[in-house]
């Protein structure tokens, strides 16, 4: 009896929240390209993920439930679970509150044929709110970027990104160890692309087929939470970017490293500004883990509004 052919692409939805999950699944299933599967990996959620999935009667949809929650501290661990279960040659991680336009896969498959030596492909991104209304756009990148150009664009703040926009070659992703682990997955997507694109670069379509949702219930929307873990994730991301540049033969790599360092400090100042008193004390106590000097910590603490509140009370 002939075996069913494997899908060319796996759309994997690492699921915990259910507020927008049905929309995410629906957007994956209505793709105009046909050779794909949709994989929902329930991260031991108490919110009824299985019940949402069961509302869809579609043979392309597969459901798995983790025995325990693996993504609480780092959602990229559930991305890795998705990677282990994926049957496609390429994988897309669609967050459980984001959605795709119907031409997302077809757009990227066209680019795969044009750039066979590349392993990382993405579409343009629109930002949406809780109701699904457009609230903005991510800046568009050139169609092809070498890794050095990609890093420069990112650290120059010419480019934003979300894991939901990427389609990655599974064999190449596994060859670098899969998705890079970071606390709260803060910087996991960028760090993964740095390593994956070192050999093949990055290819981007200007077609805005990805809709990233600012809902207040995802990590990105919670700007003032998890500061300590975000600092660790950001520093790890910067270290990987510098590692890539140290290995590069690009003539402008020193200039790009300077941009990385400048943005590293700028983002740290923003994060420290919103840190709680407990987080500040914990980071000072464990400062060797962060690789930051005492003078730097003092400077960051003085920039924190909490310091000014304490100073006024002492007066």
pTM of the predicted structure, to 2 decimals? 0.90
CB 269 within 8 A of CB 301: no
Question: Phi/psi at 122 (nearest 5 deg)?
Answer: -150, 160
CB neighbours of 147 closer than 8 A, spacing ≥ 6? 194, 197, 198, 201, 202, 244, 248
Alpha-carbon distance 244 to 223, whole Å? 28
The residue extents of the domains of the chain are 9-213, 227-314
Q: Residue 307 has what pLDDT? A: 52
Q: Residue 133 has what pLDDT? A: 96
Q: What are 260-292's pLDDT values in tens digits?
A: 999 998 998 888 888 887 787 777 777 777 677
Residue found by looking up tokens 């420290």 in the block: 272
Q: Residue 219 has what pLDDT? A: 56
* Residue 83 in this model has a pLDDT that exceeds 80: yes
Top pLDDT among 298 and 92 is at 92
pLDDT grade, residue 311 (50/70/90)? very low
Q: Residue 275 has what pLDDT? A: 81
CA separation, residue 205 to residues 31, 105, 161 (Å): 16, 11, 13
Q: Residue 79 has what pLDDT? A: 97
How many whole angstroms from its chain centre is CA 137? 17
**If you count them, how many residues does the chain have?**
315
Q: What are 211-266's pLDDT values in tens digits?
A: 999 876 655 555 557 788 898 999 999 999 999 999 999 999 999 999 999 999 89
CATH of domain 9-213: 3.90.550.10
Alpha-carbon distance 263 to 154, whole Å? 10
Alpha-carbon distance 128 to 148, whole Å? 30
3-state helix, strand, coil in the chain (%, to 5): 45, 20, 35
The DSSP 8-state label assigned to residue 218 in this structure reads S
Question: Phi/psi at 280 (nearest 5 deg)?
Answer: -60, -45
Percentage of residues in the chain having pLDDT higher than 90:
72
Q: What are 191-212's pLDDT values in tens digits?
A: 999 999 998 999 999 999 999 9
């Amino acid at each position: 009896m002939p075996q069913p052919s494997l899908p060319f692409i796996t759309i994997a939805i690492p699921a915990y929240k259910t507020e927008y999950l049905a929309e995410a699944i629906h957007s994956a299933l209505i793709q105009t390209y046909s050779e794909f599967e949709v994989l929902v990996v329930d991260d031991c959620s108490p919110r009824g993920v299985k019940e949402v999935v069961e509302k869809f009667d579609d043979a392309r949809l597969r459901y798995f439930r983790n025995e325990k929650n693996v993504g609480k501290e780092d959602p990229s661990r559930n991305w890795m679970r998705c990677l282990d279960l994926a049957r496609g040659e390429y994988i897309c991680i669609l967050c459980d509150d984001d959605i795709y336009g119907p031409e997302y896969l077809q757009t990227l498959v066209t680019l795969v044929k044009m750039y066979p030596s590349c392993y990382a492909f993405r579409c343009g991104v629109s930002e949406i709110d809780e109701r699904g209304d457009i609230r903005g756009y991510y800046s568009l990148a050139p169609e092809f970027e070498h890794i050095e150009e990609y890093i420069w664009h990112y650290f120059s703040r010419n480019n934003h990104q979300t894991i939901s926009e990427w389609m990655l070659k599974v064999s190449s992703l596994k060859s670098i160890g899969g998705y890079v682990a970071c606390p709260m997955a803060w910087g996991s997507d960028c760090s993964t692309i740095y390593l994956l694109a070192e050999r093949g670069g990055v290819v981007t379509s200007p077609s805005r087929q990805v809709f990233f949702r600012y809902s207040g219930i995802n990590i990105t929307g919670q700007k003032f939470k998890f500061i300590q873990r975000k600092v660790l994730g950001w520093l790890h991301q910067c270290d990987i970017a510098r590692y890539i540049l140290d290995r590069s033969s690009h003539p402008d790599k020193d200039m790009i490293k300077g941009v990385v360092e400048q943005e590293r400090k700028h983002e740290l100042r923003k994060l420290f500004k919103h840190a709680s008193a407990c987080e500040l004390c914990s980071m000072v106590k464990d400062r060797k883990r962060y690789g930051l000097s005492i003078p730097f910590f003092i400077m960051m603490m003085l920039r924190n509004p909490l310091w000014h509140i304490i100073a006024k009370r002492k007066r």
